[in-house]
């Protein structure tokens, strides 16, 4: 699996886990807050309905002849009051005598009012037996409702019935389902957009680095026939690509110069070897001529002339050797300089890549700090959201109180409505900001992972360039060894030139002093033997030079230009 797919898979899984957790929490919060708000409204409606009944029907609750009364008003089948309270609050409303409904707006499945039906055993125990007010979920004639029950007491504080308001759970369940569906659709759409963006960003970020890595591997393998790295960005990766392009160009020039120098060196070594062979032959001929001189004075003259010719030829050959040695020395020095420049350039490239590595590390630190600050902002936004929700609930209660106040509470109701709207706007804005902060955190995490991958690729690039530096260091060592051998050849050529001058002087003395040939011939013979030994040494050095040239050529062949 490539780096791009790993990055996309990691970001996708992280996004799904984070978004799913937020979604589940949000649905749970909406359900719980909605039910909590409904229960608070029911508690307020319970008080509102009780106050309305007390105002409409003054007096105590009582049971007379088995019939429930409020003051002097019969409450059994008094549907007008429960319908009025139901229309005012939007609730289901019921008056119980004991545990039996005697006045209600709750309907059966056939559309008739559910009178003479009883409340559940749980409510009987909590309200009628224990005398507590019950607010919570309950089964009302087969339908789950959010309910509020409180005991009805007579003048002697005896519990004789129950006062009830409630609202079905169905609307709240529908709100939760719609929110869940909307959240799932939002996650799917956001996931598609996020994967597309991550794919584009990862492709653009990794593609130039992949190209740079491939070129570095080719260079480490000795292949300099590569297309230039084309990175348009001016960041560290772009600078690295430009540095490698410059390095490839310089290496190509140096390798071409080294190849030319090696060819010149091989040619010069061949010429030196041929000249040495010719000089050795000439030296042998000189020795033979000198031996013939000892046989007679008459033949000495002819031998002297022949020796003079051979000496001239020998001097010419020595001059060729000296010229070739000078050419080889200059070529070797140039090769040494080129190799040193290449080694320096590679060190500069390693330094540049190290700077890229430092920049990537700094970017990772900065993005991690951004992610930490984003988490702090998320905590603050959560606090603001909680405050906005509390404000919304307070505004709702204020609106209820304003409704109870009637005409005098209209102005207060308008203010409460505006406060509620501002609280809802604050909650919405806080949610949007929280989503944006979550996206920043996800992208920050993705960026840190991408930077870690870039850091690994840069480390590989440093290793590849270091390997190239080691090969150039080997070339540098071979050039130094070759330069030392060429210097030995130059010194030997000087010795040979000196010996040739001695031979020429001896032959001239032979021509002038024919009578004293014995002593002079001995000197010439010694010089000839010395010259022959020098030629053999020169021949050996030329062979060594040829071998060194071949080794250098094999090293250079590792680079294709």
Measured in whole angstroms, the distance separating CA 101 from the mean position of its chain's CA atoms is 70
pLDDT digits (tens, 9 = 90+) for 416-457: 778 778 768 877 877 887 787 787 767 667 766 766 776 777
CB 93 within 8 A of CB 104: yes
Segment (H or E) for 95? strand 92-97
Q: CA 397 to CA 529: how far, in whole Å?
A: 128
Cβ partners under 8 Å of residue 1, min gap 6: 9
Question: What's the pLDDT at 280?
Answer: 66
The pLDDT confidence band at residue 368, using thresholds 50, 70 and 90, is confident
Residue 51 has pLDDT above 90, yes or no: yes
Q: What is the pTM of this model?
A: 0.36
pLDDT digits (tens, 9 = 90+) for 143-165: 889 999 999 999 999 999 999 99
Residue 193 has pLDDT above 70, yes or no: yes
Identify which has the larger pLDDT, 130 or 503: 130
Identify which has the larger pLDDT, 537 or 123: 123
Structural domain spans, the chain: 60-168, 221-365+457-557
Residue 129 has pLDDT above 90, yes or no: yes
Q: CA 17 to CA 271: how far, in whole Å?
A: 79
**CB atoms closer than 10 angstroms to residue 89:** 21
Q: CA 297 to CA 307: how far, in whole Å?
A: 15
pLDDT digits (tens, 9 = 90+) for 303-353: 666 766 766 776 676 677 667 667 766 766 776 687 677 678 777 766 776
Q: CATH classification of 60-168 is 3.20.20.70, yes or no?
A: no
DSSP codes joined into one string, 102-165: EEE--B-TTSSB-TT-B--HHHIIIIIIT---EEEEEEETTEEEEEEEEEEEBTTS-EEEEEEE
> CA 135, 138, 142: angle at the middle one, nearest 5?
155
Question: What's the pLDDT at 220?
Answer: 78
Identify which has the larger pLDDT, 481 or 185: 185
Residue 353 phi/psi, 5-degree rounding, is: -70, -30
Residue 224 phi/psi, 5-degree rounding, is: -100, 5
Of the candidates 327, 228, 230, 232, the one whose C-alpha atom is nearest the C-alpha of residue 270 is 327
The pLDDT confidence band at residue 125, using thresholds 50, 70 and 90, is very high
Q: CA 480 to CA 251: how far, in whole Å?
A: 19
Sheet holding 61-64, edge to edge: 61-64, 67-70, 73-74
Question: What's the pLDDT at 504?
Answer: 62
**CB atoms closer than 10 angstroms to residue 395:** 20
Of the candidates 216, 160, 256, the one whose C-alpha atom is nearest the C-alpha of residue 356 is 216
Question: What's the pLDDT at 99?
Answer: 94
Cβ partners under 8 Å of residue 480, min gap 6: 336
Q: Average pLDDT in the 43-67 region?
A: 93
**CB atoms closer than 10 angstroms to residue 46:** 23
What percent of the chain is predicted at pLDDT more than 70?
69
Please tell me the least confidently modeled range out of 36-40, 57-61, 257-261, 483-487: 483-487
Question: What's the pLDDT at 293?
Answer: 55
Residue 126 has pLDDT above 90, yes or no: yes
Question: What's the pLDDT at 339?
Answer: 63
Of the candidates 493, 490, 482, the one whose C-alpha atom is nearest the C-alpha of residue 553 is 482
Segment (H or E) for 560? none
Residue 132 phi/psi, 5-degree rounding, is: -100, 155
pLDDT digits (tens, 9 = 90+) for 267-314: 776 776 777 677 667 657 756 766 665 666 566 666 666 766 766 776
Q: CA 87 to CA 275: how far, in whole Å?
A: 127
Tell me which long-range contacts 509-513 makes (C-beta under 8 A, separation of at least 24).
510/293, 510/300, 510/304, 510/307, 511/301, 511/304, 511/305, 511/308
Question: What's the pLDDT at 556?
Answer: 67
Tokens (6 digits) for 197? 């963006």
pLDDT digits (tens, 9 = 90+) for 74-102: 999 999 999 999 999 989 999 999 999 99
Is residue 71 helix, strand or coil? coil
Identify which has the larger pLDDT, 10 or 49: 49
Is residue 168 helix, strand or coil? strand
Question: What's the pLDDT at 530?
Answer: 74
What percent of the chain is predicted at pLDDT more than 90?
20
Q: Average pLDDT in the 181-197 region?
A: 82
Residue 68 phi/psi, 5-degree rounding, is: -85, 130
The whole-chain average pLDDT of the chain stands at: 77
């Amino acid at each position: 699996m490539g780096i791009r797919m790993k990055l996309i898979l990691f970001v996708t899984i992280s996004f799904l886990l984070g978004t799913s957790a937020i979604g589940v929490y949000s649905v749970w919060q909406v359900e719980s807050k909605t039910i909590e708000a409904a229960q608070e409204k029911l508690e307020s409606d319970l008080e509102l309905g009780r106050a309305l009944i007390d105002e409409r029907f003054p007096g105590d609750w009582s049971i007379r002849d088995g019939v429930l009364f409020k003051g002097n008003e019969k409450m059994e089948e008094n549907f007008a009051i429960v319908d009025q309270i139901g229309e005012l609050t939007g609730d289901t409303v019921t008056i119980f005598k004991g545990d039996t409904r005697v006045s209600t707006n709750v309907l059966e499945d056939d559309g008739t009012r559910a009178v003479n039906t009883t409340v559940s055993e749980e409510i009987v125990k909590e309200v009628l037996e224990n005398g507590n007010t019950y607010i919570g979920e309950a089964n009302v004639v087969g339908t789950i409702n959010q309910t509020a029950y409180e005991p009805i007491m007579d003048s002697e504080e005896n519990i004789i019935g129950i006062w009830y308001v409630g609202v079905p759970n169905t609307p709240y369940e529908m709100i939760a389902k719609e929110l869940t569906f909307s959240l799932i659709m939002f996650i799917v759409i956001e996931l598609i957009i996020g994967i597309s963006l991550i794919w584009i960003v990862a492709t653009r970020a990794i593609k130039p680095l992949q190209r740079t890595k491939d070129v570095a591997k080719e260079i480490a393998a000795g292949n300099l026939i590569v297309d230039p790295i084309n990175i348009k960005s001016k960041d560290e990766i772009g600078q690295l690509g430009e540095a490698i392009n410059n390095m490839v160009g310089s290496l190509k020039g140096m390798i071409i110069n080294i190849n030319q120098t090696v060819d010149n060196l091989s040619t010069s070594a061949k010429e030196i070897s041929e000249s040495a062979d010719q000089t050795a032959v000439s030296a042998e001929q000189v020795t033979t001529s000198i031996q013939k001189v000892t046989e007679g004075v008459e033949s000495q003259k002819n031998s002297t002339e022949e020796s003079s010719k051979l000496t001239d030829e020998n001097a010419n050959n020595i001059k060729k050797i000296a010229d070739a040695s000078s050419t080889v020395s200059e070529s070797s020095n140039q090769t040494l300089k080129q190799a040193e420049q290449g080694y320096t350039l590679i060190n500069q490239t390693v330094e540049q890549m190290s700077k890229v590595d430092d920049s990537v590390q700094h970017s990772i630190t900065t993005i991690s700090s951004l992610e930490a600050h984003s988490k702090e902002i998320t905590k603050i936004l959560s606090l603001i959201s909680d405050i906005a929700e509390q404000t919304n609930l307070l505004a709702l209660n204020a609106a209820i109180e304003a409704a109870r106040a009637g005409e005098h509470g209209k102005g207060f109701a308008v203010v409460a409505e505006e406060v509620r709207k501002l609280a809802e706007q604050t909650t919405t804005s806080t949610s949007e900001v929280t989503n944006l902060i979550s996206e920043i955190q996800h992208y920050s995490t993705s960026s840190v992972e991408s930077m870690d991958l870039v850091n690994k690729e840069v480390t590989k690039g440093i290793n590849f360039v270091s390997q190239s530096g080691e090969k150039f260091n080997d070339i540098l060592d071979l050039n130094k060894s070759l330069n030392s051998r060429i210097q030995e050849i130059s010194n030997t050529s000087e010795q040979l030139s000196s010996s040739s001058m001695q031979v020429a002087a001896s032959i001239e003395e032979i021509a002038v002093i024919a009578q004293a040939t014995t002593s002079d011939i001995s000197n010439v013979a010694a010089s000839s033997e010395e010259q022959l030994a020098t030629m053999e040494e020169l021949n050996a050095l030329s062979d060594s030079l040829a071998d060194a040239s071949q080794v250098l050529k094999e090293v250079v062949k590792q680079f294709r230009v």
